[in-house]
Amino acid sequence: MVPITTFHYLVVAAALFVLGVIGMLTRRNVVIMLMSIELILNAVNLNLVAFSRMWGRLDGQVFAIFIVVDAAAEAAVGLGILIAFFRNKETTNVDEIDLLKW
Amino acid sequence: MPNFIMSYLGSTVTPGEAGNQFWALIYVLIIFAGVSLAVVAMNWFERKALAHFQIRLGPMRVGPHGLLQPIADAIKLMLKEDIIPAEADQFVFWIAPLIGLLAAFTVYIVIPFGPSQAVSDMNIGVLFMLGVSSLGVLGIVVAGWASNSHYPLIGALRSSAQMVSYEVAMGLAVVSAVLMTSMKTGTGTLSMIGIVESQQQQGIWFIFKFFPLGFIAFVCFVIAMIAETNRAPFDMAEAESELTAGYHTEYSGLRWSLFMLAEYAAMIAVSSIAVTLWLGGWLRPFPNLLQAPTWDFIFSLFPGLTFGALTAIAVIGVVRMPVHSYFKVQRIGLAVFAALLGFIALVLLVIAIAGRSSDSTVAARLREGIDYVYWFLLKVAFFMYLFIWLRATWPRYRFDQLMRVGWKVLLPITLVVLILTAIVGVIVS
Amino acid sequence: MSGVLNPASIAAFTTSTDPGMAPVATPFFFYLLSGLAILGGFLVITRRNPVHCALALILTLIAIANLYLMLYAPFVAAVQIIVYAGGIMVLFLFVIMLVSVERASKDRRFNRVWPVGLAAACALMALFVSAFVKGRALFPDRMIAIPEGSNTQQVASMLYGEAGRIGQYTFAFEIASLLLLVAILGAVIMTKKKI
């Protein structure tokens, strides 16, 4: 069998990235859009760690840790915005979140 | 075949490090069987101990002194009707107990019962343990949601909020224990076997190190672990008088028993973590101070003597049972049980006496292995008794008090202990 | 970092000859884990019920954590499980339970302009495919083995510094802690009923 190289990991990461982009662009539910963003961030992380393995340096892994921290902060704030919005309008449909003030 | 077994018993690395999948699988099966047996025994012990705390007798009828009660409970649960609520999400309802069970049992991969008796000694054992035990929260959240009913939902949300809050304090207490591993050598380790070996090298259990810092970290970890496993006094989410059994209200029969299995397995797992990190794991008391071979021999008699004491208690139970035809079967049953315990005690004493030298004969290696496992299990049994004792003695925390303790009391205390441990460590070295 | 990407330096990479670190059945586990990850990703974007999507995302996260283990990054794998699967997904499930109304499950899954989104994603995929096909020669066939035993120590020395010197990423580490503080404050203020 073909030995597994960095390229295989990059293909997997690209596939996850494309799936995340499709989810972002086509779903209506805000929570599922946020989950697609997490998919995108994970694809980027996989890319970084695969490259870190390729070059033999740990910079990629440290950067991946920072991205995980960043994703946590962003998920918390995004879900906070969603809850604040839901309290006013009782919907999770992103098509209906279209007014600046009502 | 004997060569194969001997070559394994003499190895100094865990099966995971040696890359030996067969022995790792054997270990996993032994752990699975052992934990299930321990859960069954724990079920009986809890009912008897709670009853004696409340000045009553507990189950006495099913076997001699209720010894077969857990088996009767298990048969009853297996024969019950499997009720699924009408609007419940079928797949999620089915998978929720499995997530909790998987998380509880996967922790046992890193728990060391001896210097080479673990399934796999990962370099990041402590992190693995923390991560997998935080996956158990997902099972509870999903169980509450899938039941499609109010009480389970509120119970699940409360329970998972509680578990997430106390995970923070647990993690910080663990960090201060890991920090102590680097005190003498300059490099710490995250592997569980490494932590026990550093306790052996430094000649002190971490609970006594930099007294009272290690002790406060240990107490914080114990409080956090009781809250993590949803046991009293933190069992707001599943108490019968509060929320009609919380997140497992709608589960009946075998599914409910999976939840209980997961809870007891998680209790044993976090107790094992506490024993490994603070109480010296498999080390016998005073491993460095009293190091002469006679002390080794005396301490290696303890397993046999413990089972001998249990045999004596069983024999007293046989003698004190009323001489009546109704009690004949129970008397015979208890006598058989006493004979079994006596046989195990005899075997352990023979191994201890035959293997008293420290060269690598079969008996010596067997004795060492039994000693390691025995001291580890004795300390874990102490924690099990502590769980039951606290359940019997203390009233329940209200939910806001619970969250207040988790965030406003435990988190600052563990942070201060961590900083003080670092400062004292730098000053002392 | 100049000169690192020319073919001469790429050809100089070799694999590790350390027998103790030889992985077992690597292609099998790689295909299994990446298949699980992509399956989980596909389920995230196509399931109707948000709780099913969250469970599929947990599957993806754990598969990716195992892929990190195969890439000799145990610390990142542990951080991924503790923070992502054990923290962020619990947060997501909480919010799904607080926010989901009954009609959300009976709503249409995809929004009005989903062909445009799908076309854009296909264009992105075409871009990726062309980049991979053209740039296949850039990636060497062998990988350098990073020692796994001291991974945590090395990551820690990059984050915290060692031997009295500041680490390479210590400043970024402090900024990240500030970011988390701001995120906590923001989330708490936004969900209060009365500020």
pLDDT interval class at A39 (50, 70, 90): very high
Q: Is the ipTM of this complex over 0.95?
A: no
Whether residue C167 is found in the same domain as residue C112: no
Note the pLDDT tens digit of each residue in B112-131. 998 888 888 888 999 999 99
Residue C122 domain flag: yes
- Which residue segments constitute the domains of chain A, with CATH numbers given? 6-96 (1.10.287.3510)
| Residue partners of B36: CB distance under 8 A and separation at least 6 | B261
Nearest CB partner across the interface for C107, out of A58, A75, A93 = A93
Same domain for C80 and C95 = yes
pLDDT(B216) > 80: yes
Cβ atoms B269, B31 nearer than 8 A: no
Q: Give the pLDDT of residue C9.
A: 40
Q: Are residues C18 and C83 located together in one domain of the fold?
A: yes
At residue B50, the pLDDT reads 94
Instruction: Kindly state the average pLDDT of the residues B15-19.
Output: 70
Using CB atoms, pick whichever of C51, C79, C151 lies closest to residue B89: C51
Cβ B127–C78 below 8 Å, yes or no? yes
Instruction: Over range B267-276, report the average pLDDT.
Output: 94
Q: What is the DSSP string of B28-39?
A: HHHHHHHHHHHH
Residue of A nearest to C12 (CA): A55
Which pLDDT band, with edges at 50, 70 and 90, does B240 fall under? low
**Contacts (Cβ under 8 Å, ≥6 apart) of B223:** B166, B169, B405, B410
Beta-carbon pairs below 8 A across chains A and C: 241
Percent of chain B scoring above 70 in pLDDT: 94
The dihedrals phi and psi of B248, each to the nearest 5 degrees, come to -110, 30
Q: Is A in contact with B (3 or more beta carbon pairs below 8 Å)?
A: no
Against chain B, the chains showing at least 3 CB pairs within 8 Å are C
Q: Which residues, 6 or more positions from B390, have their beta carbon under 8 angstroms from its beta carbon?
A: B226, B231, B232, B233
Contacts of A16 in chain C (CB under 8 A): 37-38, 41, 60
Which pLDDT score is estimated for C18? 43
Q: Measured between beta carbons, which residues in chain C are less than 8 angstroms from residue A89?
A: none
**Contact: C81, B132; criterion CB under 8 Å:** yes
Residue B10 has pLDDT above 70, yes or no: no
On whether both C74 and C154 belong to a single domain, the answer is: no
Q: Is residue C156 part of a domain?
A: yes
**Any C CB within 8 A of B135 CB:** yes
pLDDT at C92: 94
State how far residue C164 is from chain A, nearest Cα, in angstroms: 20
Q: What is the mean pLDDT of residues B362-382?
A: 89
Distance from CA of A82 to the nearest CA of C (A): 9
The CA distance from C152 to the nearest CA of chain B, in Å, is: 8
Instruction: Tell me the chain C residues in contact with residue B122 when contact means C-beta distances shorter than 8 Å.
Output: 74
Q: Compare all CA atoms of chain B with the CA of C52 and give the residue at the minimum distance.
A: B92
Residues C171, C85, single domain; the answer is no
Neighbours of C181 (CB within 10 A): 11
Question: What is the reported pLDDT for C141?
Answer: 66
Helix (H, G, I), strand (E, B) or coil at B226: helix
User: Distance between CA atoms of B335 and C194, rounded to whole angstroms?
Assistant: 70
What is the chain C residue with the closest CA to A57?
Answer: C146
CB contact under 8 A, A42 and C151: no
Per-residue model confidence (pLDDT) at position C103: 55
Lowest mean pLDDT, pick from A59-63, B37-41, B153-157, B333-337: B153-157
Q: Mind spelling out the 3-state secondary structure of B260-318?
A: HHHHHHHHHHHHHHHHHHHCCCCCCCCCCCCCCHHHHHHHHCHHHHHHHHHHHHHHHHH
The average confidence (pLDDT) of chain B is 88
pLDDT value of position B244: 65
Answer with the residue of higher pLDDT: A60 or B242: A60
- Please give the average per-residue pLDDT across B129-155, as a whole number: 87
Closest-CA distance, C86 to chain B, in angstroms, reads 5
Q: Are residues C12 and C105 in the same domain?
A: yes
Q: What is the pLDDT of residue C13?
A: 37
Supply the DSSP symbol for C86. I
HSE at residue B185, side-chain half, CA atoms within 13 A, is 17
In A, minimum Cα distance to C188 occurs at A80
For residue C182, the chain A residue with the least C-alpha distance is: A73
Residue of C34, C64, C191 lying closest to A84 (CB–CB) = C191
Q: Same domain, yes or no, for C88 and C167? A: no
pLDDT at B9: 65
Residue among C85, C96, C152 minimizing CB distance to B124: C152
CB contact under 8 A, A81 and C190: yes
- Residue C184's domain comprises 150-195
Same domain, residue pair C108 and C186: no
Looking at the complex, report in whole angstroms how far the Cα of residue A80 sits from the nearest Cα belonging to chain C: 5
Interface B-C, measured as beta-carbon pairs within 8 A, has a size of 75
Q: Which of C115, C131, C147 is at the close of a domain?
A: C147
Cα within 13 Å of Cα(B413), Cβ side: 22
Nearest to C86 among B89, B135, B190 (CB): B135
Which of B124, B167, B407, B415 to mutate against chain C (most C CBs within 10 Å)?
A: B124
Which among C44, C72, C127, C134 is the top mutation candidate for probing chain A, defined by the most A β-carbons within 10 Å of its own β-carbon? Answer: C44
Q: List subunits contacting chain A, requiring 3 or more Cβ pairs under 8 Å.
A: C
C162 and C176 together in one domain: yes
The single-letter DSSP state of residue B196 is H
Query: Do the Cβ atoms of B190 and C87 come within 8 Å?
Result: no
Higher-confidence residue of C97 and A10: namely: A10
Which chain B residues touch C82 with a CB distance below 8 Å?
127, 130-131, 134
Determine the average pLDDT of the residues in B310-328.
90
Q: Which of A68, B311, B41 has its CA nearest to residue C82?
A: A68
- Mean pLDDT along residues A42-51: 94
B-chain residue closest to C84, CA distance: B131
Alpha helices in chain C (DSSP H): 7-11, 26-46, 50-70, 74-79, 89-99, 102-106, 114-134, 151-160, 170-190
Is residue C37 domain-shared with residue C125, that is, in the same domain? Answer: yes
- B9 Cβ contact partners less than 8 Å away, ≥ 6 residues apart: B362, B365, B366, B369
| Residuewise pLDDT in 10s, chain C (195 residues) | 333 444 444 333 333 444 444 566 788 999 999 999 999 999 999 988 889 999 999 999 999 999 999 888 999 999 999 999 999 999 999 888 888 766 556 667 777 788 898 999 999 999 999 998 888 877 766 667 777 778 888 899 889 888 788 888 999 999 999 999 999 999 988 888 776
Residues of C in contact with B157 (CB under 8 A): 94, 97
Are A25 and C30 within 8 A, CB to CB? no
Q: Where does the pLDDT of residue B288 fall: very low under 50, low under 70, confident under 90, or very high at 90 and above? A: confident
What's the total number of domains in chain C? Answer: 2
**pLDDT in the model for residue B387:** 94
Q: Is the pTM of this model over 0.95?
A: no
DSSP B378-424: HHHHHHHHHHHHHHHHSPPPPHHHHHHIIIIIIHHHHHHHHHHHHHH
Say if residue C186 is in the same domain as residue C95: no
Of C49, C148, C153, the CB nearest to B187: C153
C-beta atoms of C51 and B142 within 8 A: yes
* pLDDT reported for residue B249: 78
B128 touches chain C (CB under 8 A): yes
Looking at the partner chain, which of C52, C78, C87 has a beta carbon nearest the beta carbon of B128?
C78
What pLDDT score was predicted for residue B101? 93
- C contacts of A95 (beta carbons < 8 Å): 111-112
Residue C1 covered by a domain: no
What distances in angstroms separate CA B306 from CA B88, B133, B341, B345, C4, one per listed residue?
A: 50, 32, 10, 8, 66
Output the domain CATH number for residue C22.
Answer: 1.20.120.1200
Q: Which residues pair with A29 in a beta bridge?
A: A93
In the structure encoding, which two tokens stand for residue C78, read together? 């542990």
Query: Are residues C132 and C78 located together in one domain of the fold?
Result: yes
Give long-range contacts, CB 8 A cutoff, 24+ apart: B335-338: B337/B64, B337/B67, B338/B311, B338/B314
- pLDDT value, residue C11: 38
pLDDT (0 to 100) of residue B337: 93
Tell me if A32 and C45 make a contact (CB, 8 A cut-off): yes
Contact at CB, B127 and C85, closer than 8 angstroms: no
Q: Tell if the CB–CB gap between C90 and B138 is shorter than 8 Å.
A: yes
